[in-house]
């Protein structure tokens, strides 16, 4: 088995991981170097698919105290389950990181007069969303960061390298990570006293998702296997409007910004319906809109509803949303007809590995940022476009935390680390299981029983299927293929989600229990005056 050492190891190559690598290389430049590990290619991640944009909490927009209003909007969307101090921190630190992205070369869209262009998205009280390339914000940010990382002399990148085990010693301290190279079919132990999980989301544990194939809950599983604390695992956000043409494939996202620009939701009979479910209609919080669409599909016995873009105008739509236009054209959708077929899909994860404001997990030397982390920013439901902001602000903060440490690779290990390495020192030539069928069983069970609408009976059924799949794998921790490890990670993540959803028997935010004691969704007294007093 190969061995190597780095001062800082970042697992994941989305916006959070890449921006952290750049910040650490600028401010710390640790003597043993920085390593970014990605199980696919450098730019394959959820960040790249973000269409809507990134929240920019400028101190004042149009005479509005935008920090205060952003805090209020975030807490309202999160149903009051947010960590106030985290919300305030992220909001107040938006401007510096946005300006840093601009200085790094990210070109956000501007008005004709050269000023930054802000747009409105659901549940925001003012237009505060920056976008790039029209509807390609994530791709523009990701491409910029990838280019800078590749040019950096202080950052190494391992592609096709899947992290399979955190190397934690008997003192509950992380000393590195074991990776599996799916091309070379070999293991490598990478030692470090600063290991950062930036592995992204969990969408691929569901049958229908907007997430790329890599989003299999790897970071959640790694942390759980090591004994790290997780939280809010029941809060999975289902995007209301994923393009619905051939279900069964990953579903392209049709950004919430489309509704922000004026598009209307119509059922299969071409009738508007969003107003029946919420006073803000199409601009209600995502969980409300997702359930409204789900209910309307049930009522009309259809597989989709429509987004009517005629209020925007086809030509304006094509100019404002070039990526979505291209996706629709590839799918054979005639935009001149003004109707785009959409349906909900698993999209974003509000729960994850629990961290504090220094991004520290419950295991020393182990940190988490981005979608894999549970910072407390989102509460029960993420406010639109807060995700990219969280990635960047938290990476910026963690770089500052790491700069205070004397980063170097560990020089010795105890028997627990050696025992872990011995467990993986096996013959990799044996095929253990056929993963494809088991993955499909798992994804279907999660979609039908732990998805948009949940019940006690359904969640128990999901857990039975999860345990059946685990039994077939013989509860194995060590596999011989990348697909095997992804299955292992999906099993662990699915079980944590279903168990958490079963424990929370009320409905709040993205977690909706049809058999909740109180219906409809439990209201949360946000006590706005108290929040304002804190601000």
Can you tell me the distance from the alpha carbon of 154 to that of 140, in angstroms, rounded to the nearest whole number?
23
Whether residue 286 lies in the annotated active site: yes
Task: Write the DSSP assignment of 119-168 as a string of letters.
Answer: E--TT-SS--EE-STTT-HHHHHHHHHHHHHHH-SSEEEE-SEEEEEEEE
| Closest among 178, 141, 176, 143 to 161, alpha carbons compared | 178
Q: Please tell me whether the peptide bond between 533 and the residue prior to it is cis, using omega within 30 degrees of 0.
A: no
Beta strands in 338-444, from DSSP E residues, in sequence order: 339-349, 352-354, 366-368, 373-374
Can you tell me the distance from the alpha carbon of 73 to that of 248, in angstroms, rounded to the nearest whole number?
34
Can you tell me the distance from the alpha carbon of 30 to that of 33, in angstroms, rounded to the nearest whole number?
5
Helices (H), 78-128: 84-92, 94-104
Phi-psi region of 186 (alpha: psi -120 to 50; beta: other; left: phi over 0): beta
Upper half-sphere CA count for residue 343 (Cβ side, 13 Å): 21
Catalytic residue among 175, 264, 286, 454: 286
- Chain centroid to Cα 159, Å, comes to 20
- Token readout for 365 is 């030397």
Helices (H), 243-385: 256-260, 286-300, 314-320, 322-330
Q: Are 226 and 363 in contact (CB under 8 A)?
A: yes
Q: Are 171 and 421 in contact (CB under 8 A)?
A: no
Three-state SS at 427: coil
| Closest among 121, 134, 74 to 282, alpha carbons compared | 121
Q: In what order do the strands lie in the sheet with 230-231?
A: 230-231, 352-354, 373-374
Beta pairing, strands 118-119 & 174-181? unpaired
Planar angle of CA 467, 470, 475, nearest 5 degrees? 130
Catalytic residue numbers read 286
């Amino acid at each position: 088995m190969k061995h190597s050492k780095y001062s800082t190891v970042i697992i994941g190559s989305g916006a959070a991981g890449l921006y952290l690598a750049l910040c650490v290389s600028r401010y710390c430049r640790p003597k043993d170097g920085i390593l970014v590990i990605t199980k696919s290619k450098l730019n394959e991640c959820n960040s790249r698919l973000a269409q809507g944009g990134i929240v920019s909490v400028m101190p004042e927009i149009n005479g509005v105290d935008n920090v205060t209003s952003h805090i209020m909007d975030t807490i309202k969307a999160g149903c009051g389950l947010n960590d106030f101090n985290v919300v305030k921190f992220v909001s107040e630190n938006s401007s510096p990181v946005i300006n840093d992205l601009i200085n790094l070369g990210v070109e956000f869209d501007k008005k004709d007069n050269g000023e930054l262009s802000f747009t409105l998205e659901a549940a925001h009280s003012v237009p505060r969303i920056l976008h790039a390339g029209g509807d390609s914000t994530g791709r523009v940010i990701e491409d910029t960061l990838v280019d800078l990382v590749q040019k950096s002399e202080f950052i190494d990148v391992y592609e096709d390298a899947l992290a399979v085990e955190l190397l934690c010693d008997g003192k509950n301290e992380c000393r590195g990570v074991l990776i599996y190279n799916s091309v070379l079919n070999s293991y490598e132990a990478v030692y470090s006293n600063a290991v950062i999980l930036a592995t992204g989301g969990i969408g691929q544990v569901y049958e229908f998702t907007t997430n790329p194939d890599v989003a299999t809950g790897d970071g959640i599983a790694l942390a759980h296997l090591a004994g790290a604390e997780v939280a809010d695992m029941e809060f999975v956000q289902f995007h209301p409007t994923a393009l619905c043409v051939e279900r069964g494939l990953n579903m392209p996202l049709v950004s919430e910004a489309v509704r922000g620009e004026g598009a209307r939701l119509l059922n299969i009979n071409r009738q508007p319906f969003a107003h029946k479910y919420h006073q803000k209609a199409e601009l209600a919080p995502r969980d409300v809109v997702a359930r409204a669409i789900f209910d309307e599909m049930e009522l009309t016995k259809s597989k989709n509803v429509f987004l009517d873009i005629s209020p925007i105008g086809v030509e304006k739509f094509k100019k404002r949303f070039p990526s979505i236009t291209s996706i629709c054209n590839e799918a054979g959708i005639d935009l001149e007809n003004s109707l785009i077929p959409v349906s909900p899909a698993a999209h974003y994860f509000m729960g994850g590995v629990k961290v504090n404001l220094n991004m520290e997990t419950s295991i020393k030397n182990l940190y988490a940022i981005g979608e894999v982390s549970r910072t407390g920013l989102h509460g029960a439901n993420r406010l639109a476009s807060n995700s990219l902001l969280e990635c960047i602000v938290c990476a910026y903060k963690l770089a500052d935390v790491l700069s205070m440490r004397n980063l170097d690779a560990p020089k010795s290990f105890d028997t627990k680390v050696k025992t872990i390495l011995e467990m993986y020192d096996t013959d990799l030539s044996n095929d253990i299981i056929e993963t494809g069928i088991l993955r499909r069983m798992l994804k279907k069970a999660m979609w039908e029983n732990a998805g948009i609408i949940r019940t006690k009976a359904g969640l128990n059924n999901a857990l039975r299927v999860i345990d059946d799949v685990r039994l077939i794998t013989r509860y194995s921790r060590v596999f011989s293929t990348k697909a095997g490890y992804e299955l292992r990670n999906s099993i662990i993540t699915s079980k944590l989600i279903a168990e958490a959803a079963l424990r929370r028997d009320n409905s709040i935010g993205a977690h909706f229990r049809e058999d909740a004691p109180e219906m409809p969704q439990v209201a949360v007294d946000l006590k706005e005056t108290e929040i304002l007093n804190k601000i």
